[in-house]
Structure formats: structure tokens, C-alpha cells
A and B are shown apart, each in its own frame.
Chain A
């Protein structure tokens, strides 16, 4: 069909354009030049011979991985008449809501800046730079006075914004009718129901082996675990991203997880990447940002108080401070409904040549942001590798958890999916909680915004994040949240207040994630 052909060539053109600026492109070019001296390359069939050489030497696989990565991350090219905002977020009222939310955050940051009389950014004097460089590996020992700083916002503030989200073209009657949602989210996005989720998460089914279930001590390893590890090693030897993504849907063996995640995210640490990280470190040493204090405060409040993650405090500073200076993160705003905050150099207000983004990566951290990095510290020990993995995870997944969008993996869809699943499959529980004033989303929202980091035990969390990578979607977070409620349903039916409901669901550290998911999706009688 003409239309599909032209769509395909548009997608190919877009991917080629993106890859042209990458390291891989220059490496391939260099390889092509050097292989011209080889005897098997002839002038008449130059193109085919070089292609053959790439296939044999493994460069074609690297290119395949890069193309697969682009297809996973970037949305398909949209209609030629569609403006760039449409690619960020197609629904106009959601764009407006995101814009007003961002304005509130900027106002809050500006007022903090003027109240405390601290500049947004400041160049460090040479003495301070030297001191910071010496202390780089132990920034956690620093105890600056952060009592005046407060986080810009917390997840519960964001939840209030989502609750008030309304489509102006939707019948939002004041009286309850069949049109009103009984939950907190009132926008009619399309979410999957359990039959569709079963189809989507088919590898989590009862007849497929899973790590997290079939590797427990009672099950002899010959039945599933040994074979699964063997296949994992084969996948790593082949260095194929798509195969790794398919493999990891059944979980990743602990020993192979770090390499598998790097393969799926298409991260190979070249010398240029190490240099790039060092450059970011230099940027941190030269300039001090207000955002740095927010990061310090967040780490001190969350990760440092966590039994599992306090040992990684220094790593968290090394990653998050560099993350704030990384301008390559600005690229993800093409498909993120959010926009980076803008400012001007002092004295040059309004002049476009002096317009800059603040912070340089455009992301203002909120309360709990450092928990996105903390679990990764168990897998990666070199700061530059940890940094690359976190950055890729952020621009693929985590940004969707704190921006307003209609994307199926966006936080609004996840909230609606959670509420719809609970209402449809546990109607008594939902009704009871609603009657006592304990809307379930008020309890589960914080779990989903943090992708369960800090709530589950670390090994369980990593099994969950395996599936996020494997399915390239965050919907599993909403399914797990509903499954947790289903698991504790008996206790929840007996509570009589929101505080009591919170207490029942306060401690998730003993939960086993995969059995819960499997039972909820495949073994519950509907």
C-alpha cells in the first residue's frame, strides 16, 4: 500500500537522521574505510561486500541494536501538519494542565530563591572548587545546613493536580451519573482490562517459568533455573538487544542482570562516554546550582534513611549532581509533555542569544527523586556506568511518572488503570474503601510514582524493573498496585479509616512480586 510504504520510509529517514550524529555512525564509517584494503572487497560490488563484512564482524548487530533502541524510545513520526507540541502530547487540555503545573513549580522555585537570597547558579571560587574535588568520593560526609530548603513538591501535591484534571469537552456533571468515575481520576483515557493485560503480559502466565517464582528453594533448579541461566549467557554472547528484551520478561539471573540491562538499554561504555562523565563532573565543580541543595536534601531525607540504600549515599550525589548538568537529557523533551524551565543571563532579559535552560538538563527534582537511582547502585559500581544506565532509564521510563500526559505508560493512565482494575475485580473492597473516605489511589499513588523503589525489598524491586524493561511499559506498576490490594483485601475490609488502611499497607517489604502478579492476572476467578 502506498501509505504504508511512505510511512515506513519516513520512519527510516527519521532513524537515519538520529543515528547520523551518534558515535556508532563515525565508528561504522571508520570501519568501512579501513576494510577497503581487504582483498574480498571489490569495486564492482562495493556496497554488498562492505555489508557482508559488517555482518561477519558483528557491526551489523550493533547497528541493529541501535535501530531497535531508537524504535523503542522515540515515538513514530507524526502527521506532517502536526506541530511539535502534538508529538509531546496530543490532547490540548493536558498540555495546558502540564503548563500550569510547571508554572507553579517555577513560582515555588523562584520564591525559594528570593526568600533565601541564594542565586539560582553561582560560579564556585577556586578554593571551593579544589575542596569539592578532594571530597568528590565522600560528599555524604558533608553536613550543610539544609533546614531552610524544602522540596519543590511532593507526590501528594502532584496527585491533587491529577485529581482536578478535567476535559472541557467531557460531560462532567455535578450529579453522579453513569458518566462519573467512582475513583479519583476523571479523564476518560483508554486503559487495558484483564483479558487485554493477559495477552500483553503473556510470558507471566502460569505455564511459563519465571524468576521470582520458579527459582525458589523448593523448586529443583534443573526444572527451569539452570536452563534459563544458560539461555541468558547465550543472549549476552550474541549481544542482541531485542533477544535480551524478550528474555528478560521471565526475569534476569542476578549475575547477568547488570550486563543484560546495559544491552537492552544499548549502553556500551566507550572511552567517549567516560570522558563525557568527567566533563559533567568538571561542570559540577565549576558551578554551584540551587538545585544541588534540593538534591542534597532529597538524598538526606529519603535514601540515607533507607536500610537498603544508605550505603550508596555518595554514589547518589555523584550521579544526580552530574545528571543536572547534562544537556543531552534535553533531547527527551521532544516526546515528553513537560518543557524545560527557561531563564536568561543576568542583565540580558529577553535576548534569545542569552537564553539558557535551568537546570541545564531541564529536570527539577522532587521529593523522592533520588530513589530512582538508588536500586541501580546494587548493579553498577563504576560511577560513569551507573550514570549512563540511570540517564537512559530516566529518558525512557521515569520521566512519565511525573508529567501529565495521555500516554499509556504515563502516570495518569497508570492511576486510571489501577482504579479501573480495582473497581472491576474487587468491587466490594473498592466500595468499602470509598465509603470510609480512603480512596485507594491516595495510598497507591506514592508507590507508582516511585516505581515501588523504597517500598519493596531490593531483590523483588529488581525483578519488577526487569519486566518494565522487558515489556517497555510501566503498566505493570498499576497491575502490581492492584494485586497488592487484592492480597491484603481481607484486612482492608475490616478497617474503618484512611489512617488504618494506610497502616495495613504501610509495609510491603515482605511481599513477593511475581506470585502476586501471576495470581492477580492469571489465577483470579473473574
Chain B
């Protein structure tokens, strides 16, 4: 299934904190990121990918276009998705994550805006966020592997009465030929990735000093 990148505008994160932000000592544990799609019509969301940076839990809310052509209310489509199994340790802290349409709680047609709510309850980390956020909608269907005439043979002609003469059934033969064709295509399309094994260049291994890059 191919996908198409949707250009989006990620607003700067807003920290949610109780009390006066200037005097309180702790760091915020909840951040909100708004994602808008200027100049894009309401679309069906297929996939969200991002790189995590020390966010422990993620919730996503979506605002969709209602049938009355008015923007609807905010609906939670992902609730408290755990990105770091242990918020105090590094596991999952810098992983790449993909979230798909079928993992969401509501259907994702006619999306207008998204709101990502990031939570990190552990006081050990100095900051947390998500990076490289990308939103995808469904792209055009990829072309099929077989040429059309092979998968749907035209049966205009009358089937010859060959069954009485002991010859194999033509439709069975054609399906076997189709299978063989697919197998040979697969073998031809693949290539090995083995190394050749030479470490020198044309027999010469006279080196400079080691490079630092």
C-alpha cells in the first residue's frame, strides 16, 4: 500500500503545568503539539511516523470535518500509547515509531487538525519531545506484478473438445504456467549480497595512515 506525504505545519510545543511557571521548581511533564494542514483539503490519515526523544506516553486527538461541513469537536484517537516501557530508563527513548489507521480508536477520514499530547512522568530527563513528525495519506494503488492478459486470459474461443482425447485441461495448464512464470520472475529479480572477499585494490595494500572521518 503506497502512501503520500501530507505537508503539515507543526506548531511549537506548549507545556502544561500547574501553578506559576516561573517559581515552581519541577519541569513540565506534559507537552502539547498542534499539527495543522494549511492549504490541504481534509484527507484520510493513513500513517503517522516520528522519532521519539524520551517521551514516555503519547495520546493523539483529532478534529475532523463533520457532514455539516463544520469543524467537529476534538476526539481522542489514540489513548496513552506507551513508547517507553520504563520511563526512568533508556529503552525505547530514541526509537522510530509508526502509527497506522487501524490502530486508532476512531476512523480517520476528513482530518482537519491533530493534537499530540506527550507525557513523561520521570523527573530524570531534562527534556522530551517527538522529532521528524510525518503524516501520510493513502497514495495511488501500486501497479500489479503480472501483465493484465496473463492473469485474465481472454476466453473468446470455444474450448476444444480435448478432454476426450486425453490432453490436460487448458485452464489448469495455464495456471501452472502462470505459477512457473512468477517463480522465474522472482528469481531473476533477486540478487545476492555476498562480498567478494578481496581486501586489497588490484593486489596493492600499501596504505596511508588511518583516516579520522
Contact = CB atoms under 8 A, between A and B. Distances in A.
B210 interface: yes
B199 A114 contact: no
Interface stretch (B90-98, B104-112, B138-146, B153-161): B90-98
Contacts of A171: 123-126
22 contacts: A3-B100, A78-B96, A81-B49, A81-B96, A81-B132, A91-B93, A106-B212, A107-B212, A123-B204, A169-B127, A170-B126, A171-B125, A189-B89, A342-B210, A343-B210, A344-B208, A345-B201, A345-B206, A353-B201, A356-B205, A356-B207, A357-B199
A43 interface: yes
Contact of B209 (A82, A120, A276, A279): A120
Contacts of B93: 91
A179 B124 contact: yes
Interface stretch (B8-16, B33-41, B73-81, B190-198): B190-198
B185 interface: no
A344 B207 contact: yes
Contacts of B49: 79, 81
Contacts of B172: 44
Contacts of A221: none
Contact of B90 (A91, A121, A179, A276): A91
B193 A346 contact: no
B206 A122 contact: yes
Interface of A: 1-3, 17-18, 20-22, 43-44, 47, 78-82, 86, 90-92, 103, 106-107, 109-110, 113-114, 119-123, 167-171, 179, 187-190, 276, 279, 283, 287, 325, 327-328, 330-331, 341-346, 349, 353-354, 356-358, 360, 406
Given A169-B53, A345-B206, 15 more contacts: A3-B100, A17-B190, A43-B176, A79-B96, A90-B94, A91-B90, A110-B210, A179-B124, A189-B91, A190-B85, A190-B86, A325-B199, A327-B199, A328-B195, A358-B210
A106 B208 CA distance: 13
B102 interface: yes
Contact of B190 (A20, A90, A287): A20
A298 to B, nearest CB: 19
Contacts of A79: 49, 95-98
Nearest to B88: A188
B164 interface: no
Nearest to B54: A169
Interface string B106-124: 0000000000000000011
Which 6 pairs between the two chains have the least Cβ-Cβ distance?
A: A360-B199, A21-B194, A79-B96, A21-B192, A190-B89, A82-B96
A433 B109 CA distance: 63
Interface in B161-213: 172, 176, 179, 190-195, 197-201, 204-213
B103 interface: yes
B176 A121 contact: no
Contacts of A341: 210-211
A25 to B, nearest CB: 8
Interface of B: 49, 51, 53-54, 85-86, 88-91, 93-98, 100, 102-103, 123-128, 132, 134, 172, 176, 179, 190-195, 197-201, 204-213
Given A3-B103, A20-B190, A106 B210 contact: yes
Contact of A188 (B89, B134, B179, B199): B89
B42 to A, nearest CB: 24
Contacts of A82: 96
Contacts of A167: 90
A120 B134 CA distance: 47
A276 B88 CA distance: 48
Contacts of A86: 96
Contact of A44 (B176, B198, B209): B176
Contacts of A360: 199
A405 B207 CA distance: 30
Contact of A354 (B85, B176, B201, B209): B201
B206 A121 contact: yes
Contact of A17 (B132, B193, B195): B193
Contacts of A81: 49, 51, 96, 132, 134
A170 B201 CA distance: 46
Contacts of B208: 343-346, 349
A333 B135 CA distance: 32
Contacts of B210: 106, 109-110, 120, 341-343, 358
Contacts of A342: 210-211, 213
A343 B207 contact: yes
A131 to B, nearest CB: 20
Contacts of A103: 212
Given A169-B126, A170-B124, A343 B195 contact: no
A187 B127 CA distance: 16
Contacts of B193: 17-18, 20-21
Contacts of A107: 212
A114 B209 contact: yes
Contact of B207 (A17, A78, A279, A345): A345
Listed residue (A81, A103, A189) with the most chain B CB atoms within 10 angstroms of its CB: A81
A406 B206 contact: no
B141 to A, nearest CB: 16
A78 B54 CA distance: 18
A369 B125 CA distance: 37
A44 B90 CA distance: 55
B213 A279 contact: no
Given A20-B190, A169-B54, A344 B91 contact: no
Nearest to A330: B195
Contact of A345 (B88, B197, B204): B204
Listed residue (B172, B205, B213) with the most chain A CB atoms within 10 angstroms of its CB: B205
Contacts of A168: 126
B206 A190 contact: no
A17 B91 CA distance: 29
Contact of B100 (A2, A123, A358): A2
